[in-house]
Structures are given as C-alpha cells and as structure tokens.
Amino acid sequence: MTQPRRRRAGQSRETSVLQGEDADMDNDSFIQTQTPTQVQKNLAKHSSDQVSLKVGEVVQYLLVKDQKKLPIKRADIVRNVLKEFKDIYSEVLLRAKKLLKEVFGYELVEIDVKNHTYILVNSLEHKHEDNLRVDEGTAKLGLLTIILSLIFMKGNIAKEVTVWEMLRRLRIEPGDKHPEFGDVKKLVTDEFVKQKYLEYIKIPNTEPVEYEFRWGPRAFKETSKMKILEFVSKIQHKDPKSWTSQYREAQERLPAASQASGH
C-alpha cells in the first residue's frame, strides 16, 4: 500500500472511532433524559415479545462479556444489543438484572456511576440445589440453559435447524469461531453431547440427513423442567402456568415434597 493510501486508511479508521464515540455520547445523553414515565410510554411502542427477546439478549451478552472479567459499559450494551430499543434501556436492564439474579445467581453491580460501568458478581442468595454445574463456565451454562429451554418448550424434541435459527437470533453463528465458545457447532453437537447434557439423534428416513436434539441424562440430574420453565417465564415475563402442557409436565416430574411446597 502506498503512503497516501495508508494515510487515508488511517484517517478513515480514526474517523470511524470518533463517530462511534460521538454516537455513544448521544446515546448516553438520550438515556439520561428519559424519565420513568417516558420509559413506560416508550415501552408501549414495542411488543412484549420484542422486549422479552431483548432482555434475553442483554442477559446473554452480559454473561459472555463476564468471561473475560472486564467491566461492561452501558454504551457497549446499547451499541451491541439494544440500539433501536435504547428508549426502554432502563426497563430492559431492570428485567435483565432480575433474571441474572434469580436464574444465574449473579448481581449486576454498577461500579462507576459517572461512566455507567458494570460488573457481574456472585450472589450469596443463589442456592439452587439442583442447578446446572457452573464449572464449565458461566457463558456455556447460559448457552446450554437456552438450548434446554428451547427443547422443552418444543415438546422435548428440537430439530437441529431450529436450534441454529434460535442461536442466530442471539447473534451466535454456529458456523463461525465464537470468541467465548470457540467452535459453536462442535460445542453443542459434541461437547454437550459427550457431557450427557444433550442427545444428538439422527432422524430416520431424511434426505439430506437431519438431526434433532433432546435432553441428555445429565440435564435431568442437574436441573429440572420446572426450573427451565421458570427461566422461560422470567424471560417472557409471564406466569409459568401460561404454558399449560409444559407446566403440567414439569409438575409431574417434581418430587412430592416440592409439589406440596407450592410448585
């Protein structure tokens, strides 16, 4: 590359960075001017499904970013996840915080009020006796929980193509090298299967060959369908009983003592 071209390329990168910083400042200014009343009015402009999806995406984003144990900036959350939903940022973050605490056992703590920077910290109140193991990493746990949720809500069987479509909506491309998960397809179809969290089964008489996912034996041991239904209900902001057949099935698999306590 010639010297003038290098100079122009460098200037282009600098301009892009400056434009990004300006956009972040504009977003921050906009969010700060939104009163609770305005946020509630803005909330009415979006469907409940859209809002629930964004809450789930924010939770997934925070869990993935936390793997590097670096502070997470509000500007990054808006730029990478919310964008056109910045008008309801405070409500989405509120729901995401609740989900992180109740499902994953993490507190989202603001460590720098001026620059709106957050970290995730372990919550001592998180005492699920049968929750999934966390020694494989929080991000992998989050990904696995989402896949188990999809399988359960789809009637305990989810076609491979359906799982990939769902992950793409979360900006996780199965065919790409993910910065936290590595080879996503290998993680899901090989690692999770070897660990007995998932079963990856060939569908008979399909051409080209198709596969489907089911819960593996370890998943049944380390979590429950009721826990997964509660996870889904928090993301969707609905009562678990809204899904009649799934709730009935989850109830049937609970120990008698748990059913007596109110589940």
Q: What is the pLDDT of residues 36-92, one digit of tens each?
A: 888 888 888 888 888 888 998 899 888 888 777 778 899 999 999 988 888 989 999
The residue among 36 and 226 whose pLDDT is bigger is: 226
In the prediction, which pLDDT does 12 show?
A: 56
The residue-averaged pLDDT of 197-208 equals 95
Which pLDDT belongs to residue 213? Answer: 98
User: Would you state the pLDDT for residue 23?
Assistant: 56
**How many percent of the chain have pLDDT more than 70?**
78
Judged against a pLDDT cut of 70, whether residue 262 lies above it is answered with no
pLDDT the model gives residue 26: 56
| pLDDT value, residue 183 | 92
Three-state DSSP class for residue 132: coil
Q: Look at residue 132 in the predicted model and tell me its pLDDT.
A: 54
**What one-character DSSP code corresponds to residue 131?**
P
Torsion sign, CA atoms 219, 224, 228, 234 = negative
User: What is the rounded average pLDDT of the residues 143-167?
Assistant: 95
Domain ranges of the chain: 35-122, 138-223
For the residues 1-18, what does the mean pLDDT come to? 57
Instruction: Collect all residues with Cβ–Cβ distance below 8 Å to 72 and sequence separation of at least 6.
Output: 62, 65, 66, 117, 118, 119, 120
Question: Is residue 198 within 8 Å of 215, Cβ to Cβ?
Answer: yes
* Residue 171 DSSP label: T
- The 3-state DSSP class for residue 50 equals helix
Is 243's pLDDT higher than 90? yes
Instruction: Reduce the DSSP state of residue 166 to 3 states and report it.
Output: helix
Q: What does CATH list as the number for 35-122? A: 1.10.10.1200
Domain 35-122 matches domain 138-223 at the CATH topology level: yes
Give the mean pLDDT of the chain.
Answer: 81
In the sheet where 211-215 sits, what is the strand order?
158-159, 211-215, 198-202
**For residue 142, pLDDT beyond 50:** yes
pLDDT digits (tens, 9 = 90+) for 21-50: 555 555 666 566 678 888 888 888 888 888
- Closest by CA position to 236, among listed 228, 41, 137: 228
Quote the pLDDT of residue 3. 62
> How high is the pLDDT of residue 113?
85
pLDDT for residue 164: 96
Contacts of 174 (CB under 8 A, 6+ apart): 164, 167, 168, 184, 185, 188
User: Under a CB-based contact definition with an 8 Å cutoff, are residues 91 and 48 in contact?
Assistant: no
CATH top class, domain 138-223? mainly alpha
Task: pLDDT band for 13, please (50, 70, 90 cuts).
Answer: low
Return the pLDDT at 18.
Answer: 46
Whole-model pTM: value is 0.57
